[in-house]
Structure 1
Amino acid sequence: MKNPMHRLRKDLFVLLLLLMTALDGKSQTFIRAALCDNRINPTGIDTGDLFFSWEIESSAFEVTQSGYQLVIASSPQKLGAGVYDILNTGRVNSGQSIQVRYKGQILAPARTFFWKVRIWDNNKKATDWSRDQHFTTGIFQEKEWENARWIGWEELPDSMRVVPFVHMRMKPGDCRIMPNAVSPLLRKEFAVNKKVKNALLFISGLGHYEASLNGQRVGKSFLAPGWTSYDKTVLYNTYDVTRQVRRGANAIGVVLGNGFYNISQERYVKGSGAFGNPKMIAMLKITFSDGSTQYVISDESWKKARSPIVFNTIYGGEDYDARLEQEGWNSAGFNDKSWAHALAVKPPGGRLLPEIDDPVLFLDSLSSFKKSVLKNGATVYDFGQNISGVPRIKVKGKAGQVIRITPAELVGPDGDVNQADEVAPHYYTYTLRGNGEETWQPRFTYFAVRYLKLEAVEGAGMPEILSLELLHNRNAAPSNGAFSCSNNLFNRIWSMIDWAVKSNLQSYITDNPQREKLSWQGEQNFMRTAIHYNYDVYNLYRSLIQNMKDAQHDNGLVPDIAPEYIKFSGPFVDSPEWGSTAILDTWFLYENYGDTAMIGKTYDMMTRYADFLGSRAESDLLNYGLGDWLDLGNVTPKGLTATAYYFHCTDALSKMAALTGRNEDARKYADRAERIRRAFNKKFFHPETKIYATGSQTAMAMPLSMGIVDDQFREGVLQNLVRNIQTLDSNRLTAGDVGHKFLVRALYENGHPETLFDMTHRDDVPVMATS
């Protein structure tokens, strides 16, 4: 008699084979995403720097790409019909699917092109085409702006220009102290008499702008365009407004805000000064079905008026008087006879370039879960989470009633909001127009906020609050991943870090959303890998690199902040742990995104900075800088962190030189890196004890993580690091901003995750051990 279990196993095996065969027959490989310039359907493309990437997905195993075909057409109809009049690569036998550079005819500026891609797998089977995609080329020559002018409310006299800004406030009596600059409304009507095929709006407004067409908002960006050194680079944005342009009468409306272009000092400021007064430039290109074009440009024919935004600064807040609203001002047919003509103003010094970063958007909203009434009648709302953001209110009341909204991260013992860390005052006021429900939010500023205090001012009484939200602004970098585990403490830590990262991802990476809002390079250097695990920051980092190129000094120094809105001194302008970002950002883009082209674009900046560090070194050591910022106990020598980063960026530069065929430079910087490594070990390492410097967590971890330790001493140094953490530090974290990430790497990558767990899995205050 046969064993029934044997028969059951045989039947199950046959069933499994049938199932696998069926699945294999249905397996499919397809293009999951197709990107141009690492973006979906991007605008403002530089035709000389055009590249494509795509992601492949398959339900089968061990599928690889053996070839691809990329096609581009001048219209969606031609693309669909297989008429690839711009580019047809045919089958290219290659496994490359990122950074595929365009090699074709020169593309016209301010045009939209349409493309798709397919691949062949390692079994020579072709996939279906990707979804149809498109990209719009930018404009890079002054003549391509079709004589568009920079226009504004009024010109700022050269004598009032203060760049870089004065740190904090100017001294009383300084003749350059100026009142808050006017935020004007600018409008232009135009007629369209043909069928529109395509309409593209190219626009920049400094410090920031919001544009509308026929009464409808153009785009969703907050604080556009991004922050730059306006004497070097000014960013513009491109919008496809085909659906908003209509036959007959049309109108463009633009409102301008101050941003970092003009900072008055009536309220809290980190720096005060001005590049100029708010201004804008725009060109609307309309292409008709018959192939003809029409241009609408900014010039003196535009009209101007004061906006209801009666005060705004990037640091101090914003005030809005709804009684000053002019209904229909941004629509055709509005009576603007009382408006004056716009003034043609001096252009900013910077070159107009397309913004290639993801926009800053409002991507989350929070509702309050708790509110309390203070003794003075004001109400404090708690939203339960500290974020970068602005309030949005819906109210109903009488004309002239004024609400004052004060954001804060903390509340005091009395329950009142507390703008700590010397960032007061920052607040918003809204004056009601008094004709039903009214909704408002600030347009040109933001703050770090968990609590909002609402109170009536000027004795007019409190209107009815219909709703109150907190809108969270951040860079719209796509998500790369997320984290969760069975340990609630670790989940909470990750959530806290993620909110902090999101709140500081703006058009550059800020140090904080309230006190400074500056782009300190340390945030990039110390956090780039951690940020990359959660967000695709390729586009952001390309923008950050441009800011560093603009900020580089004549002697090669790349300062600690870029843009360098405020010129600090000493280590706050030159600290190698901060400035070495100028080299390590490019290395990061190569290691994580496969971009070798960026090496060529930044090579001059990188070598000039490396040679600047060389000029400051003594016996291949750097003994200055900010050190291991915020370490507990101040126990790591400054020269150790500075020299370690000097080695790190020099070593990376030698590898990038080799990658791009600069063999002589590769040897030069490799030799220099080796000299730095030896000098570092001679200065800081004690072979007999296998301890670096003071034996601090940073002093031990940085050499281990950077490859500075000689091979014969690595295990001893590692064991001493672990022993010191467990005994001297009682598993407390003492490393500062500079050393922390190297501590994590040294432990995790060398077989000591349990030590890292013990240091992290605690909720007490991380003070120094007493024994």
Structure 2
Amino acid sequence: MKKKTVIVSVIVAAVILIGAVATTLTVLLTRKTPEPIITYPTELKVNLLSSAYGVDKNDLRFSWAMNDPEKEQEQKAYRMVFASSLQNFEKGEYIYDTKRVESSLSAAVTVDGLSSVLEEGKLYYWAVSTENSSGVDGGFSKPSAFATANSNFGGDGIWAASSSGAKANDDFAFLRSEFTLSKEEYQNLDKAVVSLTARSPEPSRQFVYNLYVNGESLGAGPSRLNKNEKGETELYYDNREVSSALKEGDNALGVICYTLGDKAFYGELTAYFKDGTKKVLSSASEKESWKSLPGDKACDKSNSIGTFYFTAHANNINSEYYPFGFSESGFDDSSWNAVALSGEIARGVKLVPAETEPVERFLSPAEQMTFTEKGNSVVVDLGYEIIGGLHLALDVPFDAEVTVRYGEQLEKDGSVKWKMLTGNEYTATFKLSAGKYEFDTIDLMTFRYVEFIDMPTILDSSSVRGLELRSAFDETESEFSSDNELLNQIYTLVKHTAKATTQDLFVDSQSRERRAYEGDCVINQPLLYAFSNNFAASRFSAEYLYQNRTWPADYVLFCARMAYADYLYTGDKTSLENYYDILKTKTFTRYFDSSVNMLTAGGITQSSVENCILVDWPETERDGYDMSVKYNTVLNALAVQSYDNLAKIAFVLGKTEDEQSFKDYAAKIRAAMVEKLYDPTTGAFSDGLYASGKASSHRSQHATAFALSANLVSGEKAALSAS
């Protein structure tokens, strides 16, 4: 049912976009291969996370998807069981059993008394069975693992040290640690969780650490600093399950860090064994087990790929200094230094587990790549745009200095447009001596094309690949095809956008600003909902924006819409409860003029440079909108939406008086706008009302579109406006 709903929503949106082109349309909703009949619950999550390896034992919310081959069946009851190990689970030795609970709830389910039997920093397994409305039990789900967070996680951060032993000032730093897994430990290994963080992600607006285990790239982090509902600044630490990257015997953990701000890294790798025991394999608190190398010579900070808004140095490569293979066991680090302490990693902040799925690196498909040689350059087309960098495996026959240019477009002559329209200049230099090299670039860039100038070796998909930086994405969650090629292309574009742009925090782009905006979140949020069951990124982005508002007044009014959408899709009102008092402030009620029953634009724009009424951006896109009005139609239409959503939120939380107050404001503004701004002859809305009470004679599409989106009119009036 979920997948059909997704597809239909995409179809409707796409048909609107292509208009008359879709004169005939055949939509295929059938899957390519029949699915096996599943009766047990799937899609188990803890706190909205599929990868829940660091969750607060005192704040656990469980969710699942009920499956039933019979139509019109609903969940009548459920049973949840918990075990301290997979072995115990398989033997039916549970530490907690809810027994049968008669309830239709399958989202944000809490278990009374569970926290009292759980310990911090331990691995557990859980499963759930559901009973349908006919009383038939579908059986237990497959067991799902989760790990509780350790409230004592943290300590002194580390960074690269200079030869004197003092902390190096280098913005790039290489860190490594080796450890051993005995044959018995390896055979008994169940899960391995690395918990890690670094600071500061703020100056360059990008991830600080880049994690490798035994040479395998396993992602980047942490998320941007944020404030919680209490106003406390939070530094997130990620919890990644990495057992598949470990091996019997010697292992290595390697980290490349980059930041222009406060410099510190902290991490711990914990092995959880099948018998329920655990062992810390590596920890930054044991600094003697770590070695370091200052990285500025290896990565050569000669240019930035940033813009006016931020500086981020290109990942230039100098093979004379770059420690190729440093994250593999047996690497010779005898010339490396010990690590330097950087002070308490959590100083001035609250250290909390990440609230989103891990950001990982994925190789882009080789089959979509093309290579075009022209003179001394080779242009690589990855086949589609990615966010991330490159993975390279090069056999260089002689010393060379290679210029590498990245871009979203090609110039007329076929070269890469590396001076981008966003203001970024995506170029790097690889200084390579003769030899074989395999390495990643850790840049955070948006690009499709790469141009190598003066590369002395033949390039193909075995030597260069795109390295996508994003959260895991299940391609099978949605599927669509039709006999309209344009519609198919729109679907592919939209789905790829949802996939490529989901790191942890929704931003305007990872190229120009790298800043989260409410206006972008309100677009990304339903986009990701349509293609994925990753709800954590949408919630994290919304909550980030509640505490980090941006300058357009219009955007502030999106917050209630984002909050209510989160509740509708997750069924979890925790976020509403935590941020309700803040959400109530995301209106401009203080500028409500009771004599007109609308918000005054003048008061809002004059109060602060942070309160510009946007309508559209840049100004040239406003199409002559009359910004001189005192009562702006777009602003007031968004206010109606905001009050409508706040009333719904208040209802969910049982805030009866607030609910009525929000309904009253919405009703007053809606009635006033229809009375004073709506033209019953054309169906158009005026751009707004002057202080004199006269409506502007200018009627932009913006005014009418926003009025329709706020349901100011319905029935024949709405049809007339839409026409």
- The alpha carbon displacement at 1:323 in A equals 3.2
State whether structure 2 residue 96 is matched by structure 1 residue 99: no
State whether structure 2 residue 278 is matched by structure 1 residue 282: no
Report the counterpart of residue 6 of structure 1 in structure 2: none
Report the counterpart of residue 31 of structure 2 in structure 1: none
Q: Deviations over 1:94-137 (max 9, x none)?
A: 22222212322323221111111112222222222111111111
| Cα gap change, 1:717 to 1:582, in 2 (>3 Å) | closer
Matches of 1:370 and 1:625 in 2, distance apart? 45
Matches of 1:408 and 1:483 in 2, distance apart? 30
How does 1:563-582 map onto structure 2 within 5 Å? 573=551, 575-582=552-559
Work out which of the residue numbers 608, 625, 628 in structure 1 matches 2:616.
628
CA contact (8 A) 2:385 2:448 kept: yes
CA contact (8 A) 1:387 1:499 kept: no
Matches of 1:392 and 1:189 in 2, distance apart? 24
CA contact (8 A) 2:197 2:209 kept: yes
Work out which of the residue numbers 457, 476, 485 in structure 2 matches 1:463.
457
CA contact (8 A) 1:371 1:381 kept: yes
Matches of 1:343 and 1:123 in 2, distance apart? 64
- Aligned residue for 1:718, secondary structure, equals helix
CA contact (8 A) 1:183 1:310 kept: no
Counterpart amino acid of 1:463? T
- The alpha carbon displacement at 1:578 in A equals 1.7
| Cα gap change, 1:61 to 1:337, in 2 (>3 Å) | closer
How does 1:44-83 map onto structure 2 within 5 Å? 44-83=54-93
State whether structure 2 residue 435 is matched by structure 1 residue 435: yes
Report the counterpart of residue 309 of structure 1 in structure 2: 299
CA contact (8 A) 2:507 2:517 kept: yes
CA contact (8 A) 2:161 2:337 kept: no
Q: What is the alpha-carbon root mean square deviation over aligned residues?
A: 3.3
| Cα gap change, 1:374 to 1:423, in 2 (>3 Å) | farther
CA contact (8 A) 2:157 2:342 kept: yes
Work out which of the residue numbers 147, 152, 155 in structure 1 matches 2:159.
152
- The alpha carbon displacement at 1:66 in A equals 1.7
Q: Deviations over 1:241-295 (max 9, x none)?
A: 557677876654322123xxx2xxxxxxxxxxx4x23x21113345676957557
- The alpha carbon displacement at 1:500 in A equals 3.7
Work out which of the residue numbers 124, 137, 140 in structure 2 matches 1:126.
137
Matches of 1:384 and 1:515 in 2, distance apart? 22
Report the counterpart of residue 748 of structure 1 in structure 2: none
How does 1:285-300 map onto structure 2 within 5 Å? 285-286=270-271, 294=280, 296-299=282-285, 300=287
Report the counterpart of residue 185 of structure 1 in structure 2: 174
Q: If the length of structure 1 is used for normalisation, what is the TM-score?
A: 0.72
Q: If the length of structure 2 is used for normalisation, what is the TM-score?
A: 0.77
Matches of 1:686 and 1:524 in 2, distance apart? 33
Q: Deviations over 1:448-499 (max 9, x none)?
A: 323221112xxxx733435333344333344542433221122223333333
| Cα gap change, 1:625 to 1:56, in 2 (>3 Å) | same
- Aligned residue for 1:184, secondary structure, equals strand
| Cα gap change, 1:203 to 1:680, in 2 (>3 Å) | same
CA contact (8 A) 1:582 1:605 kept: no
State whether structure 2 residue 657 is matched by structure 1 residue 664: yes
Report the counterpart of residue 205 of structure 2 in structure 1: none
Q: Deviations over 1:516-574 (max 9, x none)?
A: 232222112245324422233411012113322442xxxxxxx22xxxxxxxxxxxx1x
- Aligned residue for 1:540, secondary structure, equals helix
| Cα gap change, 1:128 to 1:599, in 2 (>3 Å) | same
Matches of 2:651 and 2:360 in 1, distance apart? 40
Counterpart amino acid of 2:396? G
- The alpha carbon displacement at 1:357 in A equals 1.6
Listed as ranges, the gaps of 5+ residues in structure 1 are 1-25, 156-178, 263-273, 552-558, 561-572, 723-771
- The alpha carbon displacement at 1:84 in A equals 1.4
Report the counterpart of residue 22 of structure 1 in structure 2: none
Report the counterpart of residue 205 of structure 1 in structure 2: 198
Matches of 1:405 and 1:180 in 2, distance apart? 27
Counterpart amino acid of 2:174? L
Report the counterpart of residue 204 of structure 2 in structure 1: none
Moved more, 337-346 or 361-370: 361-370
Matches of 2:517 and 2:592 in 1, distance apart? 23
How does 1:304-703 map onto structure 2 within 5 Å? 304-307=292-295, 308-311=298-301, 315=306, 316-326=313-323, 329-330=326-327, 336-346=333-343, 347=345, 349-363=348-362, 364-366=364-366, 371-374=371-374, 377-398=376-397, 400-418=399-417, 419-421=419-421, 423-436=423-436, 438-443=437-442, 445-456=443-454, 462-466=456-460, 467-478=463-474, 480-551=477-548, 559-560=549-550, 573=551, 575-610=552-587, 613-619=588-594, 620-623=598-601, 624-629=612-617, 634-637=623-626, 639-687=632-680, 690-693=683-686, 694-703=698-707
- Aligned residue for 1:128, secondary structure, equals strand
- Specify the structure having the higher radius of gyration (Cα): 1
- Aligned residue for 1:470, secondary structure, equals strand
- The alpha carbon displacement at 1:690 in A equals 4.2
State whether structure 2 residue 60 is matched by structure 1 residue 30: no
CA contact (8 A) 1:44 1:356 kept: no
How does 1:692-731 map onto structure 2 within 5 Å? 692-693=685-686, 694-709=698-713, 714-722=715-723
Counterpart amino acid of 1:303? K
- The alpha carbon displacement at 1:71 in A equals 0.5
Say which structure, 1 or 2, has more relative contact order (CA 8 Å, 6+ apart): 2
- The alpha carbon displacement at 1:151 in A equals 1.4
| Cα gap change, 1:181 to 1:384, in 2 (>3 Å) | same
Listed as ranges, the gaps of 5+ residues in structure 2 are 1-35, 163-167, 202-207, 307-312, 602-611, 687-697
Matches of 2:652 and 2:465 in 1, distance apart? 51
CA contact (8 A) 1:322 1:433 kept: yes
CA contact (8 A) 1:117 1:130 kept: yes
Q: Deviations over 1:387-432 (max 9, x none)?
A: 4343333322246422221011222233332233252422233233
- The alpha carbon displacement at 1:595 in A equals 2.0
Counterpart amino acid of 1:621? L
| Cα gap change, 1:369 to 1:27, in 2 (>3 Å) | closer
Moved more, 684-693 or 352-361: 684-693
Report the counterpart of residue 233 of structure 1 in structure 2: 234
- Aligned residue for 1:462, secondary structure, equals coil
Counterpart amino acid of 1:605? I
- Aligned residue for 2:142, secondary structure, equals coil
Matches of 1:355 and 1:328 in 2, distance apart? 29
CA contact (8 A) 2:405 2:451 kept: yes
- Aligned residue for 2:657, secondary structure, equals helix
Identity of aligned residues (%): 21
Matches of 1:369 and 1:291 in 2, distance apart? 46
- The alpha carbon displacement at 1:91 in A equals 0.7
Counterpart amino acid of 1:476? A
| Cα gap change, 1:244 to 1:473, in 2 (>3 Å) | closer
CA contact (8 A) 2:420 2:426 kept: no
